[in-house]
Amino acid sequence: MAQLSYVSGSVGLITLQNPPVNVLSAATRQGIMESMKKALNDPKVKSVVICGQNGVFCAGADIKEFGPNISGPSIVPLIYDIEVANKPVVAAIEGSALGGGLELALTCHYRIAHSKTRLGLPEVTLGLLPGAGGTQLLPRLIGIPASLELITTGRHITAAEALQLGLVDHVTQSDTVDSAVKFALSVEGEPLDSRRISKRPCPHLPDLDAVFEAVMQKARALQYSFFAQRAVGRWSMPSGASWNTSKARPVHRAAVLGLGTMGRGITVALAQAGVSVVAVEIQEKQLNEAREHVYATLERGAQQSGVSPSCANITYSHDIQAVADVDLVIEAVLEDLSLKEKVFQQLSAICKPGTLLCSNTSSLDLNCLASQTKNPELVVGMHFFAPAHVMKLLEVVYGSKSSPEAVATAMQLGKKMGKISVAVGNCRGFVGNRMLKPYIEQSYFLLEEGATPELVDKALEEFGFPMGVFRMSDLSGLDVGWRVRKEDGLAEPVGTSGQITRLRGGRRYSPLGDILCEHGRFGQKTGLGWYQYGRPGGRVAKSDPWVFNLLEEYRARLGLTARPIDQQEVLERCLYSLINEGLCILEEGFASSPEDIDVIYVFGYGWPKHRGGPMFYASMVGLATVLERLDHYYRSNPDVPSLKPCKLLRQLVASGSPPVHKWKEITKKIQNRL
Ligand SMILES: CC/C=C/CC(=O)SCCNC(=O)CCNC(=O)[C@H](O)C(C)(C)COP(=O)(O)OP(=O)(O)OC[C@H]1O[C@@H](n2cnc3c(N)ncnc32)[C@H](O)[C@@H]1OP(=O)(O)O
């Protein structure tokens, strides 16, 4: 399980041989112990290299061995023997060094890693703490804050990050064992005391309490998120109807109408949940493409999960009459109000009595759709997020006439599909997209004032979003928002000369997004957006000088002077305006609790989970601080209403800024007055 060989005259090479990932089973630990002993006792050996066979260093303890009676030698004396060795020991790290594998590497005097290696202490994901020296050695090597982050998240890091942190001494692109052997030869006979990590003092930090407090805050946010996820299931409507007073109807057979990207994803998600699906698309070509796409996605999913695909549950049709006897329809046709209204009229005429009519609209007025039907109480929104079979979030939207039974049915169906469903009221953009609007608006204003897409995205990504606002917009397609702005009469042709008006409908408006679209830059799909992607459909964002020139010309045309903008301002303006909108939504009763908003943002919009969600984050930052900063920005931007602190924020601050779980006492009073 571990083999000692001799290379380059004086190097003892110990190779872990426990395929496939060289875990530290009893036999492997025994093998390492014996090989080390032999190498250290052999006068010919002047240095030792430890590596793993087949390109993997070591994936840690053998999880299958965990139990009350672990046999074989203990890991602790083994790692002690390595550290006190009087010959240099070098770890040649390839593939993975995880858990006990990384701890083994930490006891070596030097660490050489291949550039593709992943390293980490993932014990926390198994409900454990690193027990073979990791908690003591890592802080002495890379400092307390970085160690805390790695140990409490279990995150795997790249070799490049490990080098930056000082966790490895050298990263190689060539043969790792060769590099480690050469390195070992170069350090033979050198003193080793400074290389024994356990002998180093634990770093002293003047602000240690603050570091631990930051980690505790993350833990509190994760715990909050855990309970928030469960709380959203206990939904309620302004009428007083709620989860425990409303009975869901069974849905055995559902229809999906319109098989574009969203319709296909919804079909897959329904089939995977064991619901029989009638998939309808009037265009023959689109129908055939959808059939193939759905089939391939279900096959792939089945292969990954090891269950048989659910294709037998789906029937396809190009005739809308096929929905006549289903229990529930999810409409997913183009986002066009008059088209959707027509579809709802047809559905109301065709479907059997009692069929629930749901729309996947992301922003259109549900009441308009319901008014086209004979039974508006049977109409609800089911707003899925793309890709619909992957994304966890589902907004279940109730209109003014939706019955509690209809909401309960959509919520239960969402649960069956493995979604985290949140019941929300019918306002423009519902909860998620409505809050996104001021966030995006601020990012455009920041560009006008001197920022770049890179600066804004960097601030948001360092905050924890997987993508900043501009990279995210490029991914979802800039033309989508452009179409909506045109329909709203906001986007007017800008052209290359002439006057640009920045005040539209009495409030400031930035046409920057429209200008990009006028140039055919719709984001990743066209290969050009706020960034350049090399080709249509490209994924790797690169800075684009064209955008910098555009911004300079635009500012010159408007007589705007660019000023330095820091990350703090980006975060405050983008996040606090989004938070303010969330508070307006609570105040107006379109969300029943801050947990609803937070779950929507964490599971639908990439809000970092360790920051709880926008409402939780606001209470962590301090509501008084959020209020003070919004007041400050609104004073200097009175034509930007989204910066005006909402009434609820003022009331919460006036009530002593209660923790987020106590907000309901105040929001209930306001909502009752509505
Ligand atoms: C000694 C002191 C105590 C320390 C505590 C610990 O070390 S706890 C363990 C910490 N380590 C881990 O959590 C690593 C878990 N493994 C992985 O993350 C991945 O397997 C990998 C190493 C990144 C490799 O991923 P890859 O996708 O390439 O392969 P698989 O995941 O399919 O794994 C291949 C097979 O190996 C088995 N396996 C992997 N790790 C372990 C392990 N630690 N113990 C036991 N078995 C492990 C895995 O189950 C696969 O087996 P199959 O039979 O082929 O399904």
How many A from CA of 87 to the centre of ligand 1?
31
Ligand 1 nearest atom to the CA of residue 121, by list position: 10
How far apart are the C-alpha atoms of 212 and 226, rounded to whole Å? Answer: 21
Q: Could you write out the three-class secondary structure of 93-104?
A: ECCEEECHHHHH
240: left (phi over 0), alpha (psi -120 to 50) or beta: left
State yes or no: pLDDT of 102 exceeds 80: yes
State yes or no: pLDDT of 505 exceeds 90: no
How far apart are the C-alpha atoms of 448 and 299, rounded to whole Å? Answer: 48
Instruction: Give me the pLDDT at residue 305, please.
Output: 77
Ligand 1 proximal residues by C-beta, below 6 Å: 20-21, 23-24, 59-64, 75, 96, 98-100, 122-123, 126, 128, 131-132
How far apart are the C-alpha atoms of 150 and 152, rounded to whole Å? Answer: 6
Cα four-point dihedral sign 228, 232, 233, 239: positive
Ligand 1 nearest atom to the CA of residue 154, by list position: 13
How many A from CA of 16 to the centre of ligand 1?
15
Which residue's C-alpha comes closest to atom 27 of ligand 1?
Answer: 21
Structure token digits, residue 344:
């709802």
Phi, psi of 654 (to 5 degrees): -65, -25
Cα→Cα distances 630→613, 627, 641, 649, 667, Å: 19, 5, 11, 10, 20
Beta strands in 372-518, from DSSP E residues, in sequence order: 379-384, 393-398, 420-425, 503-504, 507-508
**518 given a catalytic annotation:** no
Choosing from 83, 94, 123, 335, the catalytic residue is 123
Above 0.90 for ipTM, yes or no?
yes
Edge-to-edge strand list for the sheet holding 11-16: 2-7, 11-16, 47-52, 89-93, 110-114, 170-172
How many A from CA of 139 to the centre of ligand 1?
25
The structure tokens 């897409």 sit at 453
Structure token digits, residue 571:
């975060």
pLDDT tens digits, residue range 364-408?
999 999 999 999 999 999 999 999 999 999 999 999 999 999 999
State yes or no: pLDDT of 283 exceeds 70: yes
pLDDT tens digits, residue range 233-268?
999 999 999 999 999 999 999 999 999 999 999 999
How many A from CA of 95 to the centre of ligand 1?
12
How many A from CA of 566 to the centre of ligand 1?
43
- H/E segment holding residue 157: strand 157-158
Q: What percent helix, strand, coil does the chain show, rounded to 5? A: 50, 15, 35
Which of the listed residues 16, 21, 106, 118 should we mutate to test ligand 1's pocket, taking the one with most ligand atoms within 8 A of CB?
21
How far apart are the C-alpha atoms of 282 and 263, rounded to whole Å? Answer: 13
Please, what's the b/e burial string for 577-591 (b: 16 or more CB within 10 A of its CB; e: otherwise)?
A: bbbbbbbbbbbbbbb
Predicted structure pTM score: 0.80
Q: Give the chain's domains with CATH numbers.
A: 2-199 (3.90.226.10), 253-430 (3.40.50.720), 451-457+466-558 (1.10.1040.10), 567-672 (1.10.1040.10)
The structure tokens 């917009």 sit at 473
Cα→Cα distances 415→59, 248, 328, 503, Å: 35, 12, 15, 44
pLDDT tens digits, residue range 428-454?
999 999 999 999 999 999 999 999 999
pLDDT tens digits, residue range 615-638?
999 999 999 999 999 999 999 999
Smallest CA-to-CA distance from 33 within 83, 69, 75 is with 75
Which residue's C-alpha comes closest to atom 14 of ligand 1?
Answer: 59
Structure token digits, residue 277:
């699906």
363: left (phi over 0), alpha (psi -120 to 50) or beta: alpha
- What is the percent of the chain with per-residue pLDDT over 90, rounded to a whole number? 88
Cα-atom radius of gyration of the chain, to the nearest Å? 30
Cα→Cα distances 32→73, 104, 116, 192, 269, Å: 10, 10, 25, 21, 49
Q: Which one has a higher pLDDT value, 26 or 68?
A: 26
**595 given a catalytic annotation:** no
Confidence of residue 306 (pLDDT cuts 50, 70, 90): confident
- DSSP letter (8 states) at residue 496: S
Longest pairwise C-alpha distance within the chain: 93
How many A from CA of 133 to the centre of ligand 1?
20
Residue 569 burial (CB < 10 Å; 0-12/13-18/19+)? middle
Do residues 582 and 435 lie in contact, with contact meaning Cβ atoms separated by under 8 Å?
Answer: yes
Choosing from 83, 94, 103, 331, the catalytic residue is 103
How far apart are the C-alpha atoms of 667 and 652, rounded to whole Å? Answer: 9
Smallest CA-to-CA distance from 53 within 25, 91, 12, 15 is with 15
Which residue's C-alpha comes closest to atom 31 of ligand 1?
Answer: 21
Please compute the mean of the pLDDT values over residues 456-478 and round it to a whole number. 96
CA count, 13 A, side-chain hemisphere, 209 = 0
The structure tokens 């009434």 sit at 647
Instruction: Give me the pLDDT at residue 498, please.
Output: 62
Instruction: Give me the pLDDT at residue 495, please.
Output: 64
- What is the percent of the chain with per-residue pLDDT over 70, rounded to a whole number? 99
How many A from CA of 94 to the centre of ligand 1?
15
- H/E segment holding residue 460: helix 453-463
Ligand 1 nearest atom to the CA of residue 24, by list position: 1
Cα→Cα distances 151→24, 105, 147, 272, Å: 20, 16, 6, 36
Which of the listed residues 56, 57, 63 should we mutate to test ligand 1's pocket, taking the one with most ligand atoms within 8 A of CB?
63
622: left (phi over 0), alpha (psi -120 to 50) or beta: left
Contact partners, residue 401, CB within 8 Å, separation at least 6: 367, 370, 376, 377, 379
Which residue's C-alpha comes closest to atom 26 of ligand 1?
Answer: 21
Cα→Cα distances 423→246, 252, 381, 644, Å: 13, 22, 9, 27
Which residue's C-alpha comes closest to atom 24 of ligand 1?
Answer: 21
Instruction: Give me the pLDDT at residue 205, please.
Output: 86
Amino acid identity, position 493: P
How many A from CA of 180 to the centre of ligand 1?
24
pLDDT tens digits, residue range 585-620?
999 999 999 999 999 999 999 999 999 999 999 999
Which residue's C-alpha comes closest to atom 34 of ligand 1?
Answer: 20
Ligand 1 nearest atom to the CA of residue 118, by list position: 23
**Whole-number mean pLDDT of the chain?**
95
Amino acid identity, position 595: E
Instruction: Give me the pLDDT at residue 642, please.
Output: 96
